[in-house]
Structure 1
Protein backbone atom coordinates (compact mmCIF):
# COMPACT_ATOMS: atom_id res chain seq x y z
CA UNK A 1 0.00 0.00 0.00
CA UNK A 2 1.29 3.47 -0.88
CA UNK A 3 1.90 5.70 2.14
CA UNK A 4 2.08 9.45 1.62
CA UNK A 5 1.33 11.16 4.97
CA UNK A 6 3.95 12.56 7.32
CA UNK A 7 5.37 9.98 9.76
CA UNK A 8 8.37 9.28 11.95
CA UNK A 9 11.41 7.57 10.44
CA UNK A 10 14.40 5.90 12.03
CA UNK A 11 17.46 6.81 9.98
CA UNK A 12 20.64 4.76 9.86
CA UNK A 13 23.62 5.13 7.56
CA UNK A 14 27.03 3.58 7.17
CA UNK A 15 30.01 4.04 4.89
CA UNK A 16 31.02 1.69 2.11
CA UNK A 17 34.02 1.53 -0.17
CA UNK A 18 35.26 -0.92 -2.78
CA UNK A 19 37.90 -1.16 -5.46
CA UNK A 20 37.15 -2.19 -9.02
CA UNK A 21 38.76 -5.44 -10.20
CA UNK A 22 40.21 -3.46 -13.10
CA UNK A 23 40.37 0.35 -13.24
CA UNK A 24 38.22 2.04 -15.89
CA UNK A 25 40.45 4.49 -17.75
CA UNK A 26 38.76 7.42 -19.48
CA UNK A 27 39.93 10.63 -21.13
CA UNK A 28 39.33 12.66 -17.97
CA UNK A 29 39.51 10.22 -15.06
CA UNK A 30 40.75 6.86 -13.85
CA UNK A 31 37.97 5.09 -11.95
CA UNK A 32 39.75 2.86 -9.42
CA UNK A 33 37.29 2.71 -6.53
CA UNK A 34 33.79 3.74 -5.43
CA UNK A 35 32.74 4.98 -2.04
CA UNK A 36 29.71 6.44 -0.37
CA UNK A 37 27.01 5.68 2.17
CA UNK A 38 24.22 3.14 2.53
CA UNK A 39 20.91 4.25 4.03
CA UNK A 40 18.41 2.25 6.04
CA UNK A 41 15.09 3.97 6.79
CA UNK A 42 12.48 2.33 8.98
CA UNK A 43 9.01 3.57 9.85
CA UNK A 44 7.51 2.98 13.29
CA UNK A 45 5.29 0.23 11.86
CA UNK A 46 8.34 -1.71 10.65
CA UNK A 47 8.47 -0.88 6.93
CA UNK A 48 12.06 -0.59 5.66
CA UNK A 49 13.58 1.23 2.72
CA UNK A 50 17.15 1.05 1.48
CA UNK A 51 19.20 3.65 -0.35
CA UNK A 52 22.69 4.23 -1.72
CA UNK A 53 24.44 7.60 -1.76
CA UNK A 54 27.49 7.62 -4.01
CA UNK A 55 28.56 10.83 -5.74
CA UNK A 56 31.18 10.46 -8.43
CA UNK A 57 34.63 9.90 -6.93
CA UNK A 58 36.06 13.13 -8.33
CA UNK A 59 33.15 15.23 -7.00
CA UNK A 60 34.94 16.10 -3.77
CA UNK A 61 32.57 18.90 -2.83
CA UNK A 62 29.54 16.59 -3.01
CA UNK A 63 31.28 14.07 -0.76
CA UNK A 64 31.97 16.76 1.86
CA UNK A 65 28.46 18.24 1.72
CA UNK A 66 26.85 14.82 2.04
CA UNK A 67 29.07 13.90 4.99
CA UNK A 68 27.98 17.06 6.80
CA UNK A 69 24.29 16.58 6.02
CA UNK A 70 24.24 12.95 7.13
CA UNK A 71 25.94 13.79 10.43
CA UNK A 72 23.35 16.51 11.01
CA UNK A 73 20.40 14.12 10.57
CA UNK A 74 19.19 12.64 13.85
CA UNK A 75 18.25 9.03 14.51
CA UNK A 76 14.51 9.78 14.44
CA UNK A 77 12.78 12.52 12.48
CA UNK A 78 9.62 13.07 10.50
CA UNK A 79 9.46 12.47 6.77
CA UNK A 80 8.78 16.19 6.37
CA UNK A 81 11.96 17.13 8.21
CA UNK A 82 13.99 14.53 6.34
CA UNK A 83 12.83 15.84 2.98
CA UNK A 84 13.47 19.38 4.17
CA UNK A 85 17.10 18.46 4.78
CA UNK A 86 17.41 17.58 1.09
CA UNK A 87 16.85 21.11 -0.18
CA UNK A 88 19.91 22.08 -2.24
CA UNK A 89 21.49 18.71 -1.36
CA UNK A 90 23.74 17.01 -3.95
CA UNK A 91 21.78 14.80 -6.39
CA UNK A 92 23.46 11.64 -5.07
CA UNK A 93 21.97 12.24 -1.61
CA UNK A 94 18.55 12.95 -3.09
CA UNK A 95 18.82 9.69 -5.04
CA UNK A 96 19.65 7.64 -1.95
CA UNK A 97 16.90 9.11 0.21
CA UNK A 98 14.44 8.97 -2.69
CA UNK A 99 15.19 5.27 -3.18
CA UNK A 100 14.66 4.47 0.49
CA UNK A 101 11.46 6.51 0.84
CA UNK A 102 9.98 5.01 -2.34
CA UNK A 103 10.68 1.48 -1.12
CA UNK A 104 9.43 2.20 2.38
CA UNK A 105 6.19 3.67 1.01
CA UNK A 106 5.68 1.09 -1.74
CA UNK A 107 5.87 3.61 -4.60
CA UNK A 108 8.16 1.69 -6.96
CA UNK A 109 6.20 -1.14 -8.50
CA UNK A 110 3.06 -1.64 -10.50
CA UNK A 111 0.53 -4.08 -8.95
CA UNK A 112 1.94 -7.60 -8.81
CA UNK A 113 5.34 -6.28 -9.90
CA UNK A 114 8.69 -6.69 -8.14
CA UNK A 115 12.27 -5.74 -8.93
CA UNK A 116 12.76 -6.36 -12.65
CA UNK A 117 15.78 -8.00 -14.23
CA UNK A 118 17.62 -5.87 -16.79
CA UNK A 119 17.88 -6.70 -20.48
CA UNK A 120 21.28 -7.82 -21.81
CA UNK A 121 23.85 -5.07 -21.35
CA UNK A 122 26.39 -3.53 -23.65
CA UNK A 123 29.92 -4.84 -23.05
CA UNK A 124 32.51 -2.29 -21.99
CA UNK A 125 35.82 -2.52 -23.83
CA UNK A 126 39.01 -1.12 -22.29
CA UNK A 127 40.73 1.84 -23.84
CA UNK A 128 43.62 1.44 -26.26
CA UNK A 129 44.96 -1.57 -28.16
CA UNK A 130 43.73 -4.10 -25.56
CA UNK A 131 40.19 -3.42 -26.79
CA UNK A 132 40.66 -5.86 -29.67
CA UNK A 133 41.77 -8.72 -27.40
CA UNK A 134 38.76 -8.09 -25.18
CA UNK A 135 36.41 -8.16 -28.17
CA UNK A 136 37.81 -11.47 -29.40
CA UNK A 137 37.52 -13.01 -25.92
CA UNK A 138 33.98 -11.89 -25.20
CA UNK A 139 32.79 -13.18 -28.56
CA UNK A 140 33.54 -16.67 -27.19
CA UNK A 141 31.01 -16.39 -24.36
CA UNK A 142 28.50 -13.79 -25.54
CA UNK A 143 25.12 -15.41 -26.14
CA UNK A 144 24.75 -15.72 -29.90
CA UNK A 145 21.00 -15.10 -29.85
CA UNK A 146 21.51 -11.69 -28.18
CA UNK A 147 22.60 -8.76 -30.37
CA UNK A 148 26.15 -7.72 -29.51
CA UNK A 149 26.55 -4.14 -28.27
CA UNK A 150 29.97 -2.71 -27.41
CA UNK A 151 31.06 0.47 -25.69
CA UNK A 152 34.64 1.57 -26.24
CA UNK A 153 36.47 4.29 -24.29
CA UNK A 154 38.59 6.62 -26.43
CA UNK A 155 40.39 9.93 -26.02
CA UNK A 156 42.85 8.18 -23.70
CA UNK A 157 45.72 7.34 -26.06
CA UNK A 158 47.06 9.34 -28.99
CA UNK A 159 44.59 9.75 -31.82
CA UNK A 160 46.64 7.85 -34.42
CA UNK A 161 46.78 4.77 -32.19
CA UNK A 162 43.06 4.91 -31.47
CA UNK A 163 42.22 5.30 -35.15
CA UNK A 164 44.26 2.16 -35.88
CA UNK A 165 42.45 0.26 -33.12
CA UNK A 166 39.12 1.46 -34.53
CA UNK A 167 39.89 -0.12 -37.90
CA UNK A 168 40.85 -3.40 -36.23
CA UNK A 169 37.64 -3.43 -34.19
CA UNK A 170 35.50 -2.74 -37.24
CA UNK A 171 37.28 -5.54 -39.08
CA UNK A 172 36.33 -8.08 -36.39
CA UNK A 173 32.96 -6.67 -35.35
CA UNK A 174 30.00 -8.74 -36.60
CA UNK A 175 27.78 -7.01 -39.11
CA UNK A 176 24.83 -7.26 -36.71
CA UNK A 177 26.71 -5.68 -33.78
CA UNK A 178 26.40 -2.14 -32.46
CA UNK A 179 29.28 0.09 -31.38
CA UNK A 180 29.18 3.02 -28.97
CA UNK A 181 32.28 5.19 -28.82
CA UNK A 182 32.63 6.96 -25.48
CA UNK A 183 34.90 9.99 -25.50
CA UNK A 184 34.04 11.50 -22.08
CA UNK A 185 34.51 14.95 -23.59
CA UNK A 186 38.11 14.24 -24.59
CA UNK A 187 38.15 15.44 -28.21
CA UNK A 188 38.44 18.85 -29.79
CA UNK A 189 36.32 19.81 -32.80
CA UNK A 190 39.00 18.85 -35.30
CA UNK A 191 39.42 15.29 -34.00
CA UNK A 192 35.66 14.90 -33.63
CA UNK A 193 35.19 15.97 -37.25
CA UNK A 194 37.77 13.42 -38.45
CA UNK A 195 36.06 10.56 -36.61
CA UNK A 196 32.67 11.69 -37.85
CA UNK A 197 33.90 11.70 -41.43
CA UNK A 198 35.09 8.11 -40.96
CA UNK A 199 32.00 6.80 -39.19
CA UNK A 200 28.93 8.65 -40.44
CA UNK A 201 28.23 5.90 -43.00
CA UNK A 202 29.13 3.05 -40.62
CA UNK A 203 25.88 1.12 -40.00
CA UNK A 204 27.20 -0.51 -36.82
CA UNK A 205 27.82 2.82 -35.07
CA UNK A 206 25.06 3.39 -32.53
CA UNK A 207 26.37 6.75 -31.32
CA UNK A 208 29.40 8.74 -30.24
CA UNK A 209 29.04 9.60 -26.56
CA UNK A 210 30.04 13.05 -25.33
CA UNK A 211 32.69 13.73 -28.00
CA UNK A 212 33.27 17.31 -26.85
CA UNK A 213 33.41 18.98 -23.46
CA UNK A 214 30.05 20.05 -22.02
CA UNK A 215 31.05 23.70 -22.44
CA UNK A 216 31.01 23.28 -26.24
CA UNK A 217 27.28 22.70 -26.65
CA UNK A 218 27.33 24.48 -30.01
CA UNK A 219 29.93 22.02 -31.27
CA UNK A 220 27.92 19.06 -30.00
CA UNK A 221 24.84 20.31 -31.81
CA UNK A 222 26.81 20.74 -35.03
CA UNK A 223 28.12 17.17 -34.82
CA UNK A 224 24.63 15.84 -34.13
CA UNK A 225 23.51 17.09 -37.54
CA UNK A 226 25.90 14.61 -39.15
CA UNK A 227 26.22 11.65 -36.80
CA UNK A 228 24.34 10.25 -33.79
CA UNK A 229 25.56 11.95 -30.63
CA UNK A 230 24.66 10.91 -27.07
CA UNK A 231 25.15 13.27 -24.15
CA UNK A 232 26.44 12.14 -20.75
CA UNK A 233 28.53 14.64 -18.78
CA UNK A 234 26.60 17.54 -20.33
CA UNK A 235 23.39 16.30 -18.70
CA UNK A 236 24.89 16.49 -15.22
CA UNK A 237 26.36 19.96 -15.66
CA UNK A 238 23.43 21.42 -17.60
CA UNK A 239 20.44 19.46 -16.33
CA UNK A 240 18.01 21.46 -18.51
CA UNK A 241 19.40 19.51 -21.48
CA UNK A 242 17.50 16.47 -20.20
CA UNK A 243 14.37 18.24 -21.41
CA UNK A 244 15.70 19.75 -24.63
CA UNK A 245 18.27 17.36 -26.15
CA UNK A 246 16.47 15.28 -28.78
CA UNK A 247 19.27 12.75 -29.30
CA UNK A 248 20.23 9.89 -27.02
CA UNK A 249 20.83 10.64 -23.35
CA UNK A 250 23.07 8.51 -21.14
CA UNK A 251 21.26 8.62 -17.81
CA UNK A 252 23.13 7.79 -14.60
CA UNK A 253 20.38 7.56 -12.00
CA UNK A 254 22.61 7.47 -8.91
CA UNK A 255 23.82 11.03 -9.56
CA UNK A 256 20.59 12.56 -10.87
CA UNK A 257 18.38 12.92 -7.78
CA UNK A 258 15.08 11.30 -6.83
CA UNK A 259 14.79 8.16 -9.01
CA UNK A 260 10.99 8.37 -9.14
CA UNK A 261 11.30 11.27 -11.61
CA UNK A 262 13.27 9.15 -14.07
CA UNK A 263 11.05 6.12 -13.42
CA UNK A 264 7.98 8.20 -14.29
CA UNK A 265 9.60 9.44 -17.52
CA UNK A 266 10.44 5.87 -18.55
CA UNK A 267 6.92 4.67 -17.79
CA UNK A 268 5.60 7.46 -19.99
CA UNK A 269 7.76 6.09 -22.80
CA UNK A 270 9.97 9.13 -23.28
CA UNK A 271 12.38 7.97 -26.00
CA UNK A 272 16.15 7.76 -26.28
CA UNK A 273 17.04 7.44 -22.60
CA UNK A 274 19.77 4.86 -21.98
CA UNK A 275 20.35 3.70 -18.40
CA UNK A 276 23.97 3.46 -17.30
CA UNK A 277 25.76 2.25 -14.20
CA UNK A 278 28.08 4.37 -12.10
CA UNK A 279 29.34 1.14 -10.46
CA UNK A 280 27.03 0.56 -7.49
CA UNK A 281 26.60 -1.80 -4.58
CA UNK A 282 23.74 -4.27 -4.77
CA UNK A 283 21.36 -1.73 -3.23
CA UNK A 284 21.90 0.83 -5.96
CA UNK A 285 22.15 -1.80 -8.67
CA UNK A 286 18.60 -3.02 -7.92
CA UNK A 287 17.39 0.40 -9.07
CA UNK A 288 19.67 0.57 -12.12
CA UNK A 289 18.49 -2.87 -13.27
CA UNK A 290 14.85 -2.02 -12.68
CA UNK A 291 15.05 1.28 -14.55
CA UNK A 292 16.86 -0.42 -17.44
CA UNK A 293 14.08 -3.03 -17.63
CA UNK A 294 11.39 -0.34 -17.69
CA UNK A 295 13.31 1.54 -20.40
CA UNK A 296 13.41 -1.62 -22.49
CA UNK A 297 9.60 -1.76 -22.49
CA UNK A 298 9.39 1.70 -24.08
CA UNK A 299 9.40 3.04 -27.62
CA UNK A 300 13.21 2.98 -28.06
CA UNK A 301 14.49 -0.14 -26.25
CA UNK A 302 18.25 -0.26 -26.06
CA UNK A 303 20.93 -2.24 -24.26
CA UNK A 304 21.78 -0.54 -20.96
CA UNK A 305 25.33 0.21 -19.95
CA UNK A 306 25.87 -2.06 -16.95
CA UNK A 307 29.55 -2.96 -17.54
CA UNK A 308 28.91 -6.63 -16.74
CA UNK A 309 32.52 -7.62 -17.28
CA UNK A 310 33.87 -5.01 -14.83
CA UNK A 311 31.79 -5.59 -11.69
CA UNK A 312 33.21 -6.78 -8.36
CA UNK A 313 31.75 -9.78 -6.56
CA UNK A 314 30.83 -10.41 -2.92
CA UNK A 315 28.04 -9.64 -0.47
CA UNK A 316 28.41 -5.91 -1.02
CA UNK A 317 26.96 -6.54 -4.48
CA UNK A 318 24.17 -8.88 -3.42
CA UNK A 319 20.58 -8.00 -4.31
CA UNK A 320 19.67 -8.78 -0.70
CA UNK A 321 20.01 -5.34 0.94
CA UNK A 322 20.56 -6.80 4.40
CA UNK A 323 23.64 -8.64 3.11
CA UNK A 324 24.91 -5.43 1.50
CA UNK A 325 24.37 -3.55 4.75
CA UNK A 326 26.27 -6.13 6.77
CA UNK A 327 29.13 -6.20 4.23
CA UNK A 328 29.71 -2.44 4.33
CA UNK A 329 32.65 -1.14 6.31
Structure 2
Protein backbone atom coordinates (compact mmCIF):
# COMPACT_ATOMS: atom_id res chain seq x y z
CA UNK A 1 0.00 0.00 0.00
CA UNK A 2 1.35 3.43 -0.93
CA UNK A 3 1.59 5.86 1.99
CA UNK A 4 1.42 9.52 1.10
CA UNK A 5 2.70 12.57 3.00
CA UNK A 6 -0.93 13.37 3.77
CA UNK A 7 -1.34 9.96 5.42
CA UNK A 8 1.76 10.52 7.58
CA UNK A 9 0.62 13.99 8.63
CA UNK A 10 -2.79 12.63 9.50
CA UNK A 11 -1.21 9.89 11.58
CA UNK A 12 0.94 12.43 13.42
CA UNK A 13 -2.09 14.57 14.21
CA UNK A 14 -3.93 11.51 15.43
CA UNK A 15 -1.09 10.65 17.80
CA UNK A 16 -0.11 7.46 15.92
CA UNK A 17 3.68 6.94 16.16
CA UNK A 18 5.54 6.98 12.86
CA UNK A 19 9.07 5.82 12.11
CA UNK A 20 11.51 8.74 12.09
CA UNK A 21 13.39 9.44 8.88
CA UNK A 22 17.17 9.16 8.54
CA UNK A 23 17.65 12.90 9.00
CA UNK A 24 15.58 12.86 12.19
CA UNK A 25 17.60 9.95 13.57
CA UNK A 26 20.89 11.73 12.85
CA UNK A 27 19.57 14.89 14.49
CA UNK A 28 18.54 12.81 17.49
CA UNK A 29 22.00 11.33 17.98
CA UNK A 30 23.60 14.76 17.60
CA UNK A 31 21.15 16.16 20.15
CA UNK A 32 22.16 13.43 22.60
CA UNK A 33 25.67 14.94 22.70
CA UNK A 34 24.30 18.40 23.69
CA UNK A 35 26.38 20.42 21.19
CA UNK A 36 25.91 23.75 22.98
CA UNK A 37 27.48 22.36 26.16
CA UNK A 38 30.35 20.92 24.09
CA UNK A 39 31.00 24.37 22.61
CA UNK A 40 31.39 25.86 26.08
CA UNK A 41 33.67 23.05 27.27
CA UNK A 42 35.95 23.37 24.25
CA UNK A 43 36.08 27.12 24.75
CA UNK A 44 37.89 26.39 28.01
CA UNK A 45 40.25 23.89 26.34
CA UNK A 46 41.72 25.52 23.24
CA UNK A 47 42.63 28.93 24.76
CA UNK A 48 44.55 27.17 27.54
CA UNK A 49 46.62 25.44 24.86
CA UNK A 50 47.80 28.87 23.66
CA UNK A 51 48.60 29.84 27.25
CA UNK A 52 50.53 26.63 27.87
CA UNK A 53 52.48 27.06 24.62
CA UNK A 54 53.00 30.78 25.31
CA UNK A 55 52.20 31.22 21.64
CA UNK A 56 50.59 29.23 18.85
CA UNK A 57 50.44 25.46 19.47
CA UNK A 58 50.66 22.88 16.70
CA UNK A 59 47.56 23.02 14.49
CA UNK A 60 47.40 19.23 14.41
CA UNK A 61 47.56 19.10 18.21
CA UNK A 62 44.73 21.62 18.49
CA UNK A 63 42.58 19.65 16.03
CA UNK A 64 43.28 16.33 17.76
CA UNK A 65 42.55 17.76 21.21
CA UNK A 66 39.44 19.52 19.91
CA UNK A 67 38.04 16.39 18.27
CA UNK A 68 38.93 14.07 21.13
CA UNK A 69 37.54 16.48 23.70
CA UNK A 70 34.32 16.95 21.73
CA UNK A 71 33.75 13.20 21.48
CA UNK A 72 34.51 12.73 25.18
CA UNK A 73 32.06 15.46 26.18
CA UNK A 74 29.50 14.06 23.74
CA UNK A 75 29.88 10.64 25.34
CA UNK A 76 29.30 12.02 28.83
CA UNK A 77 26.26 14.00 27.67
CA UNK A 78 24.73 11.03 25.84
CA UNK A 79 25.16 8.79 28.88
CA UNK A 80 23.67 11.55 31.03
CA UNK A 81 20.60 11.51 28.77
CA UNK A 82 20.30 7.74 29.25
CA UNK A 83 20.41 7.97 33.04
CA UNK A 84 18.10 11.00 33.17
CA UNK A 85 15.55 9.87 30.57
CA UNK A 86 12.83 9.46 33.21
CA UNK A 87 13.19 12.93 34.73
CA UNK A 88 13.77 14.61 31.35
CA UNK A 89 10.19 13.68 30.44
CA UNK A 90 8.92 15.59 33.48
CA UNK A 91 10.82 18.83 32.85
CA UNK A 92 9.74 21.40 30.29
CA UNK A 93 13.34 22.40 29.52
CA UNK A 94 14.41 18.83 28.73
CA UNK A 95 11.21 17.25 27.44
CA UNK A 96 12.32 17.64 23.81
CA UNK A 97 15.46 15.55 24.27
CA UNK A 98 15.58 12.43 22.05
CA UNK A 99 15.10 9.83 24.79
CA UNK A 100 12.35 11.82 26.49
CA UNK A 101 10.51 11.82 23.14
CA UNK A 102 11.33 8.13 22.49
CA UNK A 103 13.02 9.22 19.28
CA UNK A 104 15.95 6.84 19.86
CA UNK A 105 15.90 3.49 21.72
CA UNK A 106 17.60 3.69 25.11
CA UNK A 107 19.83 0.72 24.30
CA UNK A 108 21.09 2.42 21.16
CA UNK A 109 21.78 5.65 23.04
CA UNK A 110 23.74 3.71 25.69
CA UNK A 111 25.87 1.98 23.06
CA UNK A 112 26.38 5.29 21.25
CA UNK A 113 27.60 7.00 24.43
CA UNK A 114 29.96 4.15 25.34
CA UNK A 115 31.42 3.98 21.83
CA UNK A 116 32.05 7.72 21.83
CA UNK A 117 33.84 7.33 25.16
CA UNK A 118 36.11 4.55 23.87
CA UNK A 119 36.87 6.37 20.61
CA UNK A 120 37.60 9.67 22.36
CA UNK A 121 39.94 8.03 24.88
CA UNK A 122 41.85 6.23 22.11
CA UNK A 123 41.99 9.37 19.98
CA UNK A 124 43.37 11.51 22.79
CA UNK A 125 45.76 8.77 23.91
CA UNK A 126 47.31 8.03 20.52
CA UNK A 127 47.10 11.49 18.94
CA UNK A 128 47.68 13.74 21.99
CA UNK A 129 48.99 11.93 25.10
CA UNK A 130 47.72 9.44 27.63
CA UNK A 131 47.65 11.94 30.48
CA UNK A 132 45.07 14.03 28.60
CA UNK A 133 43.18 10.88 27.66
CA UNK A 134 43.07 9.75 31.29
CA UNK A 135 41.83 13.15 32.46
CA UNK A 136 39.07 13.17 29.84
CA UNK A 137 37.97 9.67 30.82
CA UNK A 138 38.00 10.63 34.51
CA UNK A 139 35.83 13.68 33.77
CA UNK A 140 33.42 11.49 31.79
CA UNK A 141 33.08 8.91 34.57
CA UNK A 142 32.73 11.55 37.27
CA UNK A 143 30.00 13.40 35.36
CA UNK A 144 27.96 10.28 34.63
CA UNK A 145 28.48 8.37 37.88
CA UNK A 146 29.42 11.05 40.41
CA UNK A 147 27.03 13.80 39.34
CA UNK A 148 24.20 12.22 37.35
CA UNK A 149 23.81 8.92 39.20
CA UNK A 150 24.82 9.85 42.75
CA UNK A 151 24.65 13.59 43.51
CA UNK A 152 21.97 15.03 41.26
CA UNK A 153 18.95 13.44 42.94
CA UNK A 154 20.30 13.40 46.49
CA UNK A 155 21.60 16.84 47.48
CA UNK A 156 20.97 20.50 46.80
CA UNK A 157 24.75 20.89 46.48
CA UNK A 158 24.70 18.56 43.46
CA UNK A 159 25.95 21.08 40.93
CA UNK A 160 28.65 22.42 43.26
CA UNK A 161 30.53 19.12 43.44
CA UNK A 162 29.21 17.57 40.24
CA UNK A 163 30.22 20.64 38.30
CA UNK A 164 33.87 19.67 38.83
CA UNK A 165 33.53 17.44 35.76
CA UNK A 166 33.19 20.54 33.61
CA UNK A 167 36.47 21.93 34.98
CA UNK A 168 38.66 19.22 33.47
CA UNK A 169 38.85 20.67 29.91
CA UNK A 170 41.03 23.55 31.14
CA UNK A 171 43.54 21.06 32.58
CA UNK A 172 43.31 18.86 29.47
CA UNK A 173 44.18 21.84 27.27
CA UNK A 174 47.32 22.40 29.33
CA UNK A 175 48.42 18.75 29.46
CA UNK A 176 47.80 18.36 25.73
CA UNK A 177 50.66 20.82 25.16
CA UNK A 178 52.97 20.10 28.10
CA UNK A 179 52.11 16.47 28.97
CA UNK A 180 52.37 17.42 32.65
CA UNK A 181 50.26 18.96 35.39
CA UNK A 182 50.98 22.41 36.81
CA UNK A 183 49.52 25.00 39.15
CA UNK A 184 48.31 27.38 36.43
CA UNK A 185 45.71 25.03 34.90
CA UNK A 186 44.59 24.07 38.41
CA UNK A 187 43.77 27.75 39.03
CA UNK A 188 41.65 27.77 35.86
CA UNK A 189 40.04 24.53 37.06
CA UNK A 190 39.02 26.37 40.25
CA UNK A 191 37.76 29.40 38.31
CA UNK A 192 35.31 27.14 36.44
CA UNK A 193 34.48 25.29 39.67
CA UNK A 194 33.40 28.51 41.42
CA UNK A 195 31.79 29.87 38.22
CA UNK A 196 29.49 26.86 37.86
CA UNK A 197 27.08 27.54 40.78
CA UNK A 198 26.28 31.16 39.77
CA UNK A 199 25.99 30.04 36.15
CA UNK A 200 23.76 27.02 36.72
CA UNK A 201 21.73 28.27 39.67
CA UNK A 202 20.62 31.32 37.69
CA UNK A 203 19.35 28.92 35.00
CA UNK A 204 17.81 26.65 37.62
CA UNK A 205 15.96 29.62 39.13
CA UNK A 206 14.25 30.10 35.78
CA UNK A 207 13.25 26.41 35.68
CA UNK A 208 12.82 25.74 39.40
CA UNK A 209 9.30 24.37 38.89
CA UNK A 210 10.71 21.78 36.47
CA UNK A 211 13.19 20.53 39.06
CA UNK A 212 10.49 20.45 41.72
CA UNK A 213 8.19 18.45 39.42
CA UNK A 214 11.00 15.96 38.77
CA UNK A 215 11.89 15.77 42.51
CA UNK A 216 15.44 16.93 41.83
CA UNK A 217 16.71 19.00 44.81
CA UNK A 218 18.44 21.69 42.77
CA UNK A 219 19.03 24.58 45.18
CA UNK A 220 16.50 27.04 43.64
CA UNK A 221 13.76 24.42 43.95
CA UNK A 222 14.33 23.83 47.69
CA UNK A 223 15.14 27.30 49.06
CA UNK A 224 13.90 30.81 48.33
CA UNK A 225 15.34 33.01 45.61
CA UNK A 226 16.88 35.40 48.15
CA UNK A 227 19.01 32.59 49.59
CA UNK A 228 20.02 31.37 46.13
CA UNK A 229 21.04 34.89 45.16
CA UNK A 230 23.02 35.28 48.39
CA UNK A 231 25.01 32.14 47.63
CA UNK A 232 25.52 33.27 44.04
CA UNK A 233 27.13 36.47 45.32
CA UNK A 234 29.47 34.49 47.61
CA UNK A 235 30.59 32.16 44.82
CA UNK A 236 31.06 35.12 42.50
CA UNK A 237 33.45 36.83 44.91
CA UNK A 238 35.48 33.63 45.30
CA UNK A 239 35.51 33.10 41.51
CA UNK A 240 36.76 36.61 40.79
CA UNK A 241 39.46 36.36 43.46
CA UNK A 242 40.57 32.97 42.14
CA UNK A 243 40.75 34.26 38.56
CA UNK A 244 43.42 36.78 39.58
CA UNK A 245 45.69 34.04 40.95
CA UNK A 246 46.64 33.12 37.39
CA UNK A 247 48.42 36.46 36.93
CA UNK A 248 51.67 35.75 38.82
CA UNK A 249 51.76 32.15 37.56
CA UNK A 250 51.42 32.38 33.79
CA UNK A 251 50.32 35.75 32.40
CA UNK A 252 51.35 39.33 31.84
CA UNK A 253 49.29 42.50 32.28
CA UNK A 254 46.49 41.88 29.76
CA UNK A 255 44.80 38.90 31.40
CA UNK A 256 44.45 40.43 34.90
CA UNK A 257 43.16 43.69 33.40
CA UNK A 258 40.41 41.82 31.55
CA UNK A 259 39.73 39.59 34.59
CA UNK A 260 39.23 42.64 36.83
CA UNK A 261 36.82 44.33 34.42
CA UNK A 262 34.83 41.16 33.78
CA UNK A 263 34.82 40.36 37.51
CA UNK A 264 33.42 43.79 38.40
CA UNK A 265 30.63 43.41 35.85
CA UNK A 266 29.84 39.90 37.13
CA UNK A 267 29.68 41.16 40.70
CA UNK A 268 27.38 44.02 39.69
CA UNK A 269 25.07 41.53 37.96
CA UNK A 270 25.14 39.19 40.96
CA UNK A 271 24.32 41.96 43.42
CA UNK A 272 21.56 43.23 41.13
CA UNK A 273 20.09 39.72 41.10
CA UNK A 274 20.32 39.59 44.89
CA UNK A 275 18.56 42.96 45.16
CA UNK A 276 15.76 41.93 42.83
CA UNK A 277 15.27 38.58 44.64
CA UNK A 278 15.20 40.12 48.11
CA UNK A 279 11.45 40.61 48.47
CA UNK A 280 9.84 38.60 45.69
CA UNK A 281 9.68 35.19 44.06
CA UNK A 282 8.35 36.65 40.80
CA UNK A 283 10.76 35.51 38.07
CA UNK A 284 9.70 38.34 35.78
CA UNK A 285 11.12 40.71 38.41
CA UNK A 286 14.16 38.61 39.40
CA UNK A 287 15.25 38.02 35.77
CA UNK A 288 17.74 35.23 36.54
CA UNK A 289 18.49 34.53 32.87
CA UNK A 290 20.23 37.88 32.63
CA UNK A 291 23.03 36.61 34.89
CA UNK A 292 23.02 33.24 33.14
CA UNK A 293 23.67 34.76 29.73
CA UNK A 294 26.38 37.07 31.06
CA UNK A 295 28.08 34.16 32.81
CA UNK A 296 28.60 32.50 29.42
CA UNK A 297 30.14 35.67 28.01
CA UNK A 298 32.31 36.06 31.12
CA UNK A 299 33.89 32.63 30.83
CA UNK A 300 34.45 32.94 27.09
CA UNK A 301 36.09 36.35 27.33
CA UNK A 302 38.21 35.39 30.34
CA UNK A 303 39.70 32.38 28.57
CA UNK A 304 40.20 34.29 25.33
CA UNK A 305 42.13 36.87 27.37
CA UNK A 306 44.34 34.08 28.73
CA UNK A 307 45.03 32.93 25.15
CA UNK A 308 45.78 36.45 23.87
CA UNK A 309 47.99 37.46 26.80
CA UNK A 310 51.20 35.70 25.61
CA UNK A 311 51.12 37.65 22.34
CA UNK A 312 51.12 41.03 24.12
CA UNK A 313 54.23 40.54 26.21
Q: TM-score range by the shorter chain?
A: under 0.3
Normalising by structure 1, report the TM-score.
0.25
When normalised by structure 2's length, the TM-score is 0.26
**Which is richer in strand?**
1
